[in-house]
A = this chain, B = another copy of it.
């Protein structure tokens, strides 16, 4: 039976999961692939610690060249994460003619152009299914399942940590800070949760998805990103009263001319399928011209699910090695030469409905002054509710607008603040669907 050599750089959580899949499901993989994946070498700084997986000791090495330049290795898996040394090791493998697999969304979102170009130049394939949506085969769906379509929009719950936090805040009525601590205790949030709670991780992922869906290169730093730190249990409750759920949504749209890509807390109708995605789960809702709407749901992170995606990629590349082909499917769904540079719609020009919560003085005329200013900026109100009464004191004044332009909303809110009839800046949540 033909054997295809596999090498791994990085024996952390995902690396150990990959080894576990290769060992536990070896027979199943052979039945599918018609060849054997042969684990040749694993490089890590630490070759002593126990990862709970029975790895033959002689496969472990601290010398990365024994993976990336090993003639017996056809496919190199990078599971280090982060920018460096992951990038240098990955490119060394590519330069040595190895096909590569990674789940490193930060690396690909920021340095993708360079990495994909190098793969094309060297004639090697790259798999990165695990980088978006964990084990959910969403990149395959976009790349191949939708190949006949023009994709028009994507709505993704792409970060499990923040979805867990928002779910808990809703179901237990607790504050962001309190639920974050619980998430950290459970291992669902990292000690430094910035990348997750500020929306950076979701922005990495939507950068990759948008580029692949629209065939338009989206630079990572063009993604408007707003995290969930400011969301309160009150806002979640008020949203529910209006018939909406609050999710950290990654949104990408393409109108055939301009691309808009943004990550922010978003209100979606409670009866939308995405509203039912609870806890650490991820889901991606995509609309395409012939296919119509489709949704993909599953575990967005975790050792086992990510390892499933990584080994799925190894198998895919091994099929190519077996057939002696490369470059069969372009990694970003479109031929690299056909990828255009996206013309981006700035956030100021985005139009959507808005949820606004003012902390306003409970006295006659306040509502009319606020809505007057909104009206001057062409922002009309769909519904408004004052939560409680407390004459002369500050009470929450909650409203939903009809579709309005972000720049108008920002300017109007600035003017409202100058009136000194509200306390602090209002809460603002964009509404989709």
Contact = CB atoms under 8 A, between A and B. Distances in A.
Interface of A: 17, 21, 24-25, 28-34, 129, 135-137, 140-141, 144-150, 215, 271, 273, 276, 288-299, 302, 304-305, 307-312, 314-316, 319-320, 322-325, 327-330, 333-335, 338
B333 A32 contact: yes
7 contacts: A148-B308, A148-B309, A290-B304, A290-B308, A291-B309, A294-B297, A296-B296
A308 B29 contact: no
Contacts of A289: 24-25
A272 B129 CA distance: 26
A84 to B, nearest CB: 28
A298 B294 CA distance: 4
Given A34-B338, A319-B328, 12 more contacts: A25-B150, A31-B335, A32-B335, A32-B338, A136-B145, A140-B140, A148-B308, A273-B273, A290-B304, A291-B304, A296-B296, A328-B328
Contact of A308 (B33, B288, B315): B288
Contacts of A307: 148, 290
Nearest to A329: B319
Given A290-B25, A292-B135, A304-B290, A312 B32 contact: no
Contacts of A316: 144, 147
B28 A294 contact: no
Nearest to A315: B147
Nearest to A325: B323
A128 B416 CA distance: 59
A223 B147 CA distance: 33
Given A141-B140, A145-B129, A148-B21, A291 B276 contact: no
Contacts of A24: 289
Copies in the complex: 2
A137 B144 contact: yes
A334 B291 contact: no
A314 B290 CA distance: 15
Residue in A129, A148, A298 with the greatest tally of chain B CB atoms within 10 Å: A148
B323 A308 contact: no
Nearest to A311: B148
A343 to B, nearest CB: 16
Contact of A32 (B140, B273, B315, B334): B334
B308 A299 contact: no
A58 to B, nearest CB: 24
B305 A338 contact: no
Given A34-B335, A148-B29, A136 B328 contact: no
Given A137-B140, A296-B294, A149 B308 contact: yes
Given A149-B308, A315-B148, A291 B141 contact: no
A197 to B, nearest CB: 24
A148 B276 contact: no
Nearest to A271: B276
A34 B385 CA distance: 55
A216 B368 CA distance: 69
A110 B23 CA distance: 36
A289 B135 CA distance: 11
A324 to B, nearest CB: 8
A314 to B, nearest CB: 8
A314 B307 CA distance: 30
Given A25-B289, A295-B298, A329-B319, A137 B141 contact: yes
A29 B294 contact: no
Contacts of A273: 273, 276, 297
Nearest to A283: B295
B141 A141 contact: yes
